[in-house]
Each structure stands twice: as structure tokens, then as C-alpha cells.
Structure 1
């Protein structure tokens, strides 16, 4: 039985063969992440990677005028810090905690040491990186071509997939920052979803009451991302 904050609640860690997982276990450090915690700033050298088990982390791109938009999310399906295995050690995006919870962090040096063994961990993280790139590219397409309501459905479903609850503690202002749209647009979109009976919204809280309704209204971007993760990382299906 896997307990609430067991490292194997992270699908990447769970997918490792026992021998590879046991080598990592002694180096994994459980850490509590709170909403708003900034794990990486743009351009920071990354000294740790994070494997969320119950937290959700958002990758934001910040503009010079102060605007921002989420380019990807990371939950228990993945790892924060793929720049390390690609040789970059930093990215132009900010990593901020979107949903409080637990994660396991691992020092960059240990990760690279294991990655350079050219074994199961390397193959797994390369497949995960491909899936993450799909999420990023599909987010860009979605933000350009689909309505705010469709974008909100996509964002809600992807977030729910990473959590063990149907309730999200988040303000409309934060959602507008995630989607890179005006707050008024989020207000209208959330209002429409509430009128349809898909969500219940009160200040700072969104409860999904009809997931199938969201799935009916969401654009194809959600399915594209889910299919690619399932194809490359079957344990996340």
C-alpha cells in the first residue's frame, strides 16, 4: 500500500526498477511546498530537482511589462528541473507552487550521476521531457486558438488529474495569470461553467461537481496532452 506522501506516489519514481529506486531513496528529501513558494526564478542555477507527490508546480514565463502566463504544470506525473538533464542548468521561466502539498527533492549532482549511468532513469526522464514539451507546445496553441472557457476547462482538468481532490483553492486573479488573459475573461468563463453546473465557485475556491461536463466542453488540447503522457509514460494513464 502506498501512503499519502510515499515517494512512489510520484509516477516517475514508481516506474523505476527496484534497484534504481533504492539508490535514489537515500538521497530523496521530503519537503512541504506552500502555495506561492518560488522554487526557481528565471535564470537561476538549479541546485535541486523536485518530484511532487501531492503538490502542483506551475512554470510561468514572465514578460518585461510584468505580465505572465503558465507554459506547463508539473504534478505527481513528473519532475521539476529537466533543464539539468538537457545541460542547461537554468531556464527563463519561474517555477511557483500552484497547489500546496509534498514533494521529494534531489540534489542536481545526484540526479546527473544517475542520469549518466545511461540506464532506466535516463530513458524515463527523456520520455518525460518529450511529454513535457508536448504540454508546452499544446498550451501555446490553445492560448492562441481557443476560447478562455475552453482554456479554463483544459487547465482545470489537467490540475485535477494531479490532485486527489475535486476542490481547488485559487483566486480568479491567479487563474488569469496562469492563462495569460484578463481577469474579466476568467470571471465570464467561470460564470458560464457554473451556470452549466460543471463547477461551484466561491471566493478563492473552485469545486468541480461535473467533470464529464468539463470533458465535453474542453478543446482537443487536453486529450492531446493526456495521450502523449500515456504513450510515453504508461504509468500516468
Structure 2
């Protein structure tokens, strides 16, 4: 079964699907960056200094409580960007945003991005549509966390990561997964063993290999697919002037 997010090879799809005029505006201000695992893009309640458009890898948006509890509320890869608070015309991030799987991308200064959005209403509309897809993803994550078994939640999360990487191998530890899913490591271990027992994945030290994507989608049931469909509808994968 094919992946749901098909970005142009080596490109960020949000940039790719801008109009030709908007690409001409933004491209001189983009700086190529290598993005290592755990690289921090935003800190909670701190000013956003740079916005990142990923070409590869996976970024994670994590909410935390005063007591130190953390859970992932969103993720993005070559289809998306960090810094959505800037698109919404606020200066500070409410979340921690960092790389969970290393990759590369483009960076632009937040102040420069604000200027471009004021200059180009069409660019602002385009990125606001992306914010809409993130809102859909976050709402589905909340629904999944509240209604689904841990095994289903893990299957959904692995599918979402799989959509955003090249190949079938993901560098992920049980500790990292426990933060992403908001559960103890022991619970993650049990869920991984259940998916392994069905032949859907293979877990090795520090990585997970997807063996049966169709089986994972069946295991995730209806918890997976809504945000991906919304992204295809609202953003798509083809240039408007192609």
C-alpha cells in the first residue's frame, strides 16, 4: 500500500506548491541547513527566531505541563514547516518543536517571513491552509489518544512517520516513543511486541522497520488517514502553474 504523502523528491512540498511569483519572493531568503536528531526549532513560550521547511526527516511538536509531563501533539516532514505561530501573526511558540528523525531543510528568519507574508497575501493564504491541516491532525491525535488502544495509536504514529521518510527504516527508541505517545516505556514495549507478533514491523536496537504497511493501516483502523486526506485536498502535491 503506497504512502499517503508524496513530496517531490528532495523538495519541501509547501514551497513546491507556492505560485511561481511567491517562490521567487521567498527563495533568495532560504538557507539550506542540516537538521540533526533532537535539534530544537522552537522552545515553549519563547520567540520564534527561524522557520524551517523540511526536505527530509521528521519534526515533532510537543506540549508539556508544569510537572514535566510531555506528549506529542503534531508532527511534520517534507510536507510542512515549523513556525506556524508566525503565520498566525504571533511572536512566541506555545510548544517545543524539535527533530525526531534527522534530515535537512531550509531556514528563513522569522522577521523576514513576516515581511514576506505582509507583502504577499497569496503566500499567507497558502500557509494558512497548511495550518488548517495541522489543526485537523491535532484534533485526530486527541481523538486517537482518548479513544484508541495503545496498539492502534502506535500503528497510526508509525504510519505518519513512514509517510515522511524515504524507505522503511526509522531511527526510534522506546524512550522517544514513550514521549510521543504519552505513555510509559513498558507500555510502548508491549505495543511494539504486539505489532511485531503480527509481522507488521521489526524492532531492532534504536530503530523500527516497517514490514507490512497495509497491515499497519488495518491495525490503526479509522485513527489514520483523515489529516492526510485533508492535506491532499487543501494543499495537494502539484504546482499551481505546472
TM-score category (smaller protein): over 0.9
Alignment of 1:1-237 (within 5 A): 5=10, 9-235=11-237
8 Å Cα contact 2:45/2:92 also seen in 1: yes
Q: Structure 2 length as normaliser, TM-score?
A: 0.92
Q: How far apart in 2 are the matches of 1:43 and 1:215?
A: 36
Q: How far apart in 2 are the matches of 1:128 and 1:39?
A: 18
8 Å Cα contact 1:146/1:219 also seen in 2: no
Q: How far apart in 2 are the matches of 1:3 and 1:188?
A: 36
Q: Which moved more, 1:118-127 or 1:36-45?
A: 118-127
8 Å Cα contact 2:152/2:223 also seen in 1: no
CA-CA distance at 1:91 after TM superposition: 2.2
Q: How many residues align?
A: 232
Q: Which is bigger in relative contact order (C-alpha 8 A, separation at least 6)?
A: 2
Gaps of 5+ in 2: 1-6
SS at match of 1:197: coil
Gaps of 5+ in 1: none
Q: How far apart in 1 are the matches of 2:114 and 2:94?
A: 21
Q: How far apart in 2 are the matches of 1:117 and 1:62?
A: 35
Structure 1 moving runs of 4+ over 6 Å = none
SS at match of 2:216: helix
Q: How far apart in 2 are the matches of 1:48 and 1:96?
A: 12
Q: How far apart in 1 are the matches of 2:78 and 2:184?
A: 29
Q: How far apart in 1 are the matches of 2:236 and 2:94?
A: 30
CA distances 1:60-119 after superposition (whole Å, capped 9, x unpaired): 011222221000001111110010121221122101111101010111122112211343
CA-CA distance at 1:170 after TM superposition: 0.8
Instruction: Calculate the aligned-residue CA RMSD, in Å.
Output: 1.6
8 Å Cα contact 2:17/2:236 also seen in 1: no
1:225/1:3 CA distance change after superposition, 3 Å: closer
CA-CA distance at 1:124 after TM superposition: 0.8
Q: Structure 1 length as normaliser, TM-score?
A: 0.93
